[in-house]
Amino acid sequence: MASADKPHAAPQPAYLPTAGSILNADKSFYDSLANSKSRTLKQTIDVPPRSAKAWKVPAGSIVRFSTPEGAQVGDLNIWNLANPRERFWASRTRQLHASHVTVYDRLWSCLPYLRPMVTIIADSLKDYGVDQWGGRCHDLLGTRCDPYVNTMLTGDQYDYHCHSNLTRAVVPYGLT
């Protein structure tokens, strides 16, 4: 049994990459993208609370997520535009990077593709730390809320959970 009085060794990652590994982002390249003054805003998409949006993002684009109206929760799904069978795999990303992602971490796709779909180049909340409730930012820990668990637990029908909102948003793209 572990003792609360003894310090614990830092956990070791499941995989330890070697120099030049695909797991390690090219920091100077991504820093140059993050700091470039030549970027131009192409589109702004507002996602109201308790809703969802889907949009196409060409490869090589930079997407910035922000919460101009204050703190909120957001779930993210990503598919390869040319092959929707390739999609973001949160569990593998967590295994390769961390439970909470930040700058230079990558969001990885599912098998058999297993490649970076996104590299995080900036994080305005990287110094947030841990709040009074033990919360941190950008986690890959759980699943989104859904109407099925809500009905199971309460017997109520409510269809504006993240799962339902995201499903409605991707239907026009043939994704469900």
Mean predicted confidence (pLDDT) in 34-44: 94
Residue 109 resides in a domain: yes
CB 100 within 8 A of CB 140: yes
**Residue-level pLDDT at 62:** 95
Residue 45 resides in a domain: no
Residue 127 resides in a domain: no
80 and 115 part of one domain: yes
Mean predicted confidence (pLDDT) in 115-144: 87
Domain of 165 in residue numbering reads as: 143-176
Mean predicted confidence (pLDDT) in 137-148: 88
Mean predicted confidence (pLDDT) in 15-25: 88
Residue 7 resides in a domain: no
81 and 117 part of one domain: yes
80 and 116 part of one domain: yes
Q: What is the pTM of this model?
A: 0.85
Residue 19 resides in a domain: no
109 and 147 part of one domain: no
Higher pLDDT, 8 or 41: 41
Angle (nearest 5°) at CA 130 between 35 and 48: 65
Higher pLDDT, 154 or 10: 154
Mean predicted confidence (pLDDT) in 141-169: 92
Higher pLDDT, 172 or 48: 172
Residue 113 resides in a domain: yes
Residue 79 resides in a domain: yes
Number of domains within the chain: 2
147 and 117 part of one domain: no
Buried b (16+ CB within 10 A) or exposed e, 26-58: eeeebeeeeeeeeeeeeeeeeeeeeebebeeee
pLDDT band at 50 (very low <50, low <70, confident <90, very high): confident
Residue 27 resides in a domain: no
151 and 113 part of one domain: no
